[in-house]
Structure formats: C-alpha cells, structure tokens
Amino acid sequence: MRIATWNINSLRLRMPTLQNVVAALKPDVVCLQETKVPDELFPVDDVRALGFEHILFAGMKGYNGVAILSKAPLTPIDRRDWCEKGDCRHIAAILPSGAELHNFYIPAGGDIPDPVLNDKFAHKLRFVDELADWFRGKAQAERILVGDLNIAPLEEDVWSHKQLLKVVSHTPVEVEKLIAAMKAHDWVDVLREFVPPDQKLYTWWSYRNRIWPGNDRGRRLDHVWVTPSLRPALAGATVLREARGWDKPSDHVPVAVDFNF
C-alpha cells in the first residue's frame, strides 16, 4: 500500500494538480490538508473519478480542512475537537490492514514566535502539547500519523538552521514540543528512515520563491510517523519535489510512503 500526504492549499483550485499527483505517485490512499472546502461542496464525484471510492472529509469555508481518499474501504474513527476550536484539523480511519491512519494539519502559528504576543503561536504550541498528551494515553498499536505538522525539527530540515532559529516552524520551543510528541508515543520518523538525518530534506518552499527551484530555501514541514510495530513494514518513501514547479503548485509537495502489510 502506498499512502501519500499533501497540503493541497485548496482542493477545488488544484484538482488538476491532484490528478497529476495521482498519475505520478499512483497512491492507494491520499491524505490532504488545507482543503479549504465546506463539506457540502466537497467534489466527491471528481475525487471518485480519480479512482478513490472511499472518501472521508472534514472541511470549512475558506481555510483548514482535511480529507482521506482511499481505493480500499475505510472505517472512520470518531473525530476529536482539538484545542476546542472546531477547526477541522484532524481526521482518522482504520485501514483494511487494521492500522489506524491519522491525518493532521497543525496550525502554522503566524509570524511572531511569542505565545503572549501571538495567539496563533499559542494555539500551535497548545495543539502539539495536546497531540502528545492524547497519544501518550493510548496503548501501543499499529498507527500511522501523516500530515502538515508545520514544524521542521532537525537542523537539516531547513535551508539554514542558524538563520531560522527565530522563525516560526523551526524555533527551539516548537522543535522541543514536536520531539516530545514523538517520544510520547515512540513514533518513528519515516522519511528519516530512508534519508539520513545529516542530509538536507525539504517538502515546502515559500511562494515568495518565485523562480523554481531558485535558491532552494526549503523546509521539511510534512511528515509521516509510524508506531514501532510498523517499522518492519516500511518499504520506501518518496518526496515529489518536482511538483513544486508544476502549474498552479501548492507551496508544499506530496510525500508518499510504501508499506508491505
């Protein structure tokens, strides 16, 4: 099974790009973030035309929104209201293998890395703390966590560790909390199983970088984690870097992981 995750930055705007992603990666499951579409307007027929008969989504007008598109049946998992915001940042299902699949869109956090001065940053930190607490209380099982986590934890996950230490997404407090969340449930960082931590790896490039690939000032904001019992099932990982240079791109690129269940 190949599971892809992608912050699409508006599903209806980038449906043709999604079609290209599906053609390039041939995924069995696609997890989308920032779909920006309320449930009543979700393009179910267009998605099914891409081969995904089983669709779960939680959306709202204008921003946020998550979805799971699957060729195989899904069993929905009850939704959680993260930080009591009701803002459609998480959706989950059980795969035919029995593994739980969790799709997250963690808040970006605004521009000022100070929770006192910036409510958006405070929300982000609270969300990551809540994620850690929630999974810490669960018994170990086969689980997969994917999504736009909006934090680049390692030095080689950003184009310049030194210059981004005070930039939201790579500040020490964010990194500390994300690593604590990983440790809380003994998560395995799948991409770094295939690309060593001392090598640069990005999944996001700002729209301010108008020439692709330009100066390649990227960050790794999109992640796939698995619980330890699924580590033997990992068979490969792909970052579809070239998608950033396609027509009407998202600022994120798709990430895919292969499993031998």
pLDDT for the residue numbered 3: 98
How does DSSP classify residue 199? S
pLDDT for the residue numbered 214: 82
Write out the two tokens for 260.
């031998």
pLDDT for the residue numbered 212: 82
pLDDT for the residue numbered 220: 98
pLDDT for the residue numbered 142: 98
pLDDT for the residue numbered 208: 87
pLDDT for the residue numbered 205: 96
pLDDT for the residue numbered 215: 87
End-to-end CA distance of the chain: 7
Crossing angle of helices 172-184 and 119-136, rounded to 10°? 20
Closest CA to 107 of 118, 97, 98: 118
Which of the residues in the chain have pLDDT under 70? none
User: 100-105 and 143-148 as β-strands: parallel, antiparallel, unpaired?
Assistant: parallel
Closest CA to 253 of 222, 226, 215: 222
pLDDT for the residue numbered 222: 98
Q: Whole-model pTM?
A: 0.97
- Summarised one tens digit per residue, pLDDT across range 106-126 is 999 999 999 999 999 999 999
pLDDT for the residue numbered 81: 93
Pick the CATH number of 2-259 from 3.90.1580.10, 3.60.10.10, 3.40.50.920, 3.40.50.300: 3.60.10.10
Q: What is the dihedral of CA 18, 20, 25, 28, to 10 degrees?
A: 50
Q: How far apart are CA 169 and CA 109, in angstroms?
A: 8
Residue spans of the domains in the chain: they are 2-259
Q: 36 to each of 10, 43, 250, 254, how far by Cα in Å?
A: 5, 12, 13, 17
Residue type, 162: K
Q: 217 to each of 6, 194, 202, 208, how far by Cα in Å?
A: 19, 22, 9, 10
